[in-house]
């Protein structure tokens, strides 16, 4: 019923009154985020890519300089579909995003006269060495109208030889800013449908036209000289590194592909455990330093890493062909595959998830596994005829309810769903009618998960509860503007140890199990 203010003149009025539960959209935990270096692409921001081809288009496919490209390819190979990429480089001052040392490739075009006048500056759209593969060609100059065509050419390596490809063409361009339909800056830089994905231009002299010639862009640099741990971690004030992810609106599996220094791994853990915008909804996925023995891996974790339950550690690195690679990017893809096929509450490990690799950097024995698994280090194991599979599903927090990674990830998804869905109740009346709606909304969400087999109990009463009433909302909390709904779940745990008990009995003896006639 509406307020009394509308009843000041006779009439017929209608209103919409919300009653009962609101159907929440469950959050997804299948997306990943990688932070690393690349030869091309956006810097100082997160970029969503949804396929390997999408990644190559935006960031290149440089496999020789860091593991970001390799990791992205392996993520999509294993079933991942949404990857947030943060490209980084070296910063002279990590607190100032403008101090990046990467450089955009550039070229200046003149009018070709005896005493030349600079007409256009052409810069690569992104920082990086890939810009050095670009050239621009001015052609088809129309003397009468002053129009010309601009073509963007890219050099590519095909079968060991360099080929050139025309990748963009802009026709009937003008250097006159009063020409609203053909001014080159408006078309190349900002046009909604025609803007270049490779270059940006700046007109230096509107009275001149650039010479008909082909000019290569040069001096592009990836900014990797002196790159440091802080460049991978980033800074809150400058939104660099990890902190570029602050505004991503879904839970993430975050990884620094191939970066295994203690400082970076601790920085990643700190980000997911303590940084307010992302606290408690992400997983940090780690590899350990390459070529370490199981004993060294155990010591590294014990000496450097925290036990918070929001992380997953994998050992060892893997080998595909002759290339040693981190396994964490594979695992982020497996998480997504697992969530699509079975559900986030299911364990992303076991024979269901064979890795497309040829060998392990270190093949663990049973004794090695007995050393690493109790510490929360998940082993990649090799089984004849089965292949190479993740054979562990633990966090480092092995002494709590969050020992198992699937439990942690499932709780994160529930938390994020309730956080987003609960916004509708902010500033509603803190009274029984609202309490019932909040409780019903939480209960409906949990009932949906129960119907999918996400809880350990057989009945809803055994599986979950949601309570929002005068017990959870005493007067002292109401006075503070606080509304509390308590949610409990019986999370399903993986069968980490499967035991078969063999019993021997003689014919005529009654076995422990009931006979078919008695059952």
Q: What is the 3-state secondary structure (H, E, C) of 220-243?
A: CECCCCCCCHHHHHCCCCCCCHHH
Nearest CA among 166, 175, 170 for reference residue 193: 170
Q: Which two tokens stand for residue 516?
A: 């078919």
Q: Which two tokens stand for residue 504?
A: 């021997």
Residues facing residue 323 across a β-bridge? 320
Residues 448, 33, 78, 328, Cα dihedral to 10°? -110
Nearest CA among 123, 302, 108 for reference residue 198: 123
Q: What is the pLDDT of residue 162?
A: 85
Q: What is the pLDDT of residue 161?
A: 84
Give the residue extent of every domain in the chain.
32-95+226-406, 106-216, 429-519
In the block, residue with structure tokens 């970076």? 264
Q: Domain 32-95+226-406: which topology?
A: Rossmann fold (3.40.50)
Q: What is the pLDDT of residue 475?
A: 96
Q: Tell me the C-alpha distance between 227 and 369, whole Å.
A: 35
Question: What string of pLDDT tens digits covers the 519 residues of the chain?
Answer: 567 788 888 989 888 888 888 899 999 999 999 999 999 999 989 999 999 999 999 999 889 889 999 999 999 999 999 999 999 999 999 999 999 999 999 999 999 999 999 999 999 999 999 999 999 999 999 988 899 999 999 998 777 788 899 999 999 999 999 999 999 999 999 988 899 999 999 999 999 999 999 999 999 999 999 999 999 999 999 999 999 999 999 999 999 999 999 999 999 999 999 999 999 999 999 999 999 999 999 999 999 999 999 999 999 999 999 999 999 999 999 999 999 999 999 999 999 999 999 999 999 999 999 999 999 999 999 999 999 999 999 999 999 999 999 999 999 999 999 999 999 999 999 999 999 999 999 999 999 999 999 999 999 999 999 999 999 999 999 999 999 999 999 999 999 999 999 988 888 776 665 555 544
Three-class SS of 336-377: HHHHHHCCCCCCCCCCCCCCCCCEECCCCCHHHHHHHHHHCE
Identify whether the C-beta of residue 110 lies closer than 8 Å to the C-beta of residue 118. yes
Q: Tell me the C-alpha distance between 38 and 353, whole Å.
A: 29
DSSP of 83-121? EEEEE---BSSTT-GGGB--B--EEEEE---SS--EEEE
Q: What is the pLDDT of residue 515?
A: 52
DSSP of 147-193? EEEEEEEEEEEETTEEEEEEEEEEEEEBS-TT-TTTBHHIIIII-TT
Q: What is the pLDDT of residue 341?
A: 95
In the block, residue with structure tokens 């909304």? 441
- Roughly how many angstroms between the first and final C-alpha of the chain, as a whole number? 60
Q: CA–CA distance from 150 to each of 122, 143, 166, 194, 500 (Å)?
A: 11, 15, 11, 13, 73
Residues facing residue 149 across a β-bridge? 139
Identify whether the C-beta of residue 285 lies closer than 8 Å to the C-beta of residue 296. no
Q: Which two tokens stand for residue 262?
A: 């203690």
Q: Which two tokens stand for residue 462?
A: 């055994």
Identify whether the C-beta of residue 388 lies closer than 8 Å to the C-beta of residue 380. yes
CATH architecture classification, 106-216: Sandwich (2.60)
What residues contact residue 258 under an 8 Å CB cut-off, 6+ apart? 36, 66, 67, 68, 70, 71, 287, 325, 326
């Amino acid at each position: 019923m509406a307020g009394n203010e509308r009843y000041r003149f006779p009439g017929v009025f209608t209103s919409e009154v919300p009653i009962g539960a609101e159907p929440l959209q469950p959050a997804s935990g299948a997306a990943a985020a990688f932070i690393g270096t690349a030869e091309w692409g956006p810097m100082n921001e997160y970029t969503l890519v949804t396929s390997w081809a999408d990644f190559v288009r935006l960031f290149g496919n440089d496999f020789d300089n860091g593991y970001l490209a390799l990791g992205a390819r392996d993520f999509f190979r294993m079933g991942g579909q949404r990857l947030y990429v943060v490209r980084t480089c070296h910063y002279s001052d990590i607190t100032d995003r403008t101090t990046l040392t990467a450089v955009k490739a550039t070229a200046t075009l003149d009018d070709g006269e005896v005493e030349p006048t600079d007409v256009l500056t052409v810069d690569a759209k992104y920082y990086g060495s890939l810009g050095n593969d670009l050239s621009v060609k001015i052609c088809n100059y129309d003397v009468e109208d002053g129009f010309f065509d601009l073509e963007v050419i890219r050099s590519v390596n095909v079968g060991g030889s360099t080929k050139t490809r025309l990748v963009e063409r802009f026709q009937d361009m003008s250097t006159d800013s009063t020409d609203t339909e053909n001014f080159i800056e408006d078309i190349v830089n900002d046009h909604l449908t025609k803007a270049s994905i490779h270059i940006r231009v700046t007109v230096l002299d509107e009275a001149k036209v650039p010479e008909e010639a082909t000019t290569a862009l040069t001096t592009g640099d990836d900014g990797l000289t002196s790159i440091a741990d802080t460049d991978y971690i980033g800074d809150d004030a400058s939104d660099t590194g990890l902190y570029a992810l602050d505004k991503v609106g879904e839970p993430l599996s975050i990884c620094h592909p191939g970066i295994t220094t203690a400082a970076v791994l601790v920085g990643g853990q700190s980000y997911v455990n303590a940084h307010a915008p992302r606290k408690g909804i992400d997983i940090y996925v780690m590899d350990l330093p390459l070529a370490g023995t199981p004993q060294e891996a155990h010591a590294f974790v014990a000496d450097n890493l925290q036990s918070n339950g929001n992380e997953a550690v994998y050992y060892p690195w893997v080998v595909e062909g002759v290339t040693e690679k981190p396994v964490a990017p594979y695992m982020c893809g497996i998480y997504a595959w697992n969530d699509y096929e079975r559900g986030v509450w299911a364990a992303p490990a076991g024979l269901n998830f064979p890795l497309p690799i040829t060998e392990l950097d270190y093949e663990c024995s049973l004794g090695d596994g007995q050393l690493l698994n109790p510490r929360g280090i998940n082993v990649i194991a090799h089984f004849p005829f089965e292949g190479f599979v993740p054979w562990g599903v633990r966090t480092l927090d092995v002494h709590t309810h969050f020992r198992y990674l699937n439990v942690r990830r499932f709780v994160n998804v529930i938390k994020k769903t309730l956080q987003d869905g609960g916004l509708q109740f902010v500033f509603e009346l803190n009274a029984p009618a609202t309490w019932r709606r909040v409780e019903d909304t939480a209960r409906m969400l949990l009932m949906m998960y129960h119907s999918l087999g996400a809880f350990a109990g057989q009945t809803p009463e055994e599986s979950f509860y949601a309570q929002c009433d005068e017990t959870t909302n005493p007067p002292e909390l109401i006075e503070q503007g606080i509304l509390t709904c308590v949610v409990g779940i019986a999370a399903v745990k993986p069968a980490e140890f499967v035991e078969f008990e063999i019993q021997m009995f003689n014919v005529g003896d009654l076995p422990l199990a009931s006979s078919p006639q008695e059952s």
